[in-house]
Structure 1
């Protein structure tokens, strides 16, 4: 059996690099670890940290493809981030004109959660701890 230690990173592909960079850094508050332009691919790679613990790799590629269906396409369904206060986080996202669904309650844990999307249509979730 492989002994996996933890999740190393999550990769997200964007068709609007500057818009996505602003969303993940200025709205969600991720820290930039490194930004690389790869001329041979006409592609950016932005490494982002969440409180120094996890990493998001944000890629831009000129030949991206849209998701096959939404939201139930095969593969990554959504990416969830833990927060202390879902209601306050939701209000902040709305103040930044982010389309946020209504807050729900997890029927198994009784915890609040909410879904929203990034500028690329990637489904994201905030989950209250």
Structure 2
């Protein structure tokens, strides 16, 4: 087997419209398509970032909350590369996004910081 690339990342939201606004208006993703799946009472939106990455945004009735902080089993976080982490943090904070402090990755020496989507999913900014 040869894996070519990561095709998409899926995120489940408690409030589809709120999360769609966060990923498009705050983070700059583009909504490619969305569909309501009546049999599941669920929305599914396909979001692109610079035409390269695809994020599938789902809603389901009453999904269980994330059990703990970023150290729960499963996807730990999604990281986004930026040119300037400090500037990106300032921009996110200015939009009311909950952010952690700027820090340096002890293994790479690169600047990084965590922030959170509307459901508390940890997201990371990482300076190239």
Q: Distance in 2 between matches of 1:65 and 1:90?
A: 28
Unaligned runs of 5+ in 2: none
Matches within 5 A, 1:1-129: 2-129=1-128
Q: Distance in 2 between matches of 1:87 and 1:70?
A: 23
Runs of 4+ in structure 1 over 3 Å off: none
CA RMSD, 1 decimal? 0.8
TM-score, structure 2 as length reference: 0.96
Q: Distance in 2 between matches of 1:63 and 1:88?
A: 35
Number of equivalent positions: 128
Q: Distance in 2 between matches of 1:67 and 1:93?
A: 22
1:121 to partner: Cα distance: 1.0
Unaligned runs of 5+ in 1: none
Please give the secondary structure, in 2, of the residue aligned with 1:82.
Answer: strand
Q: Distance in 1 between matches of 2:54 and 2:18?
A: 19
| TM-superposition CA deviations, 1:71-129 (whole Å, max 9, x none) | 21111111101111111100000000111110011122211101011001100001011
TM-score, structure 1 as length reference: 0.96
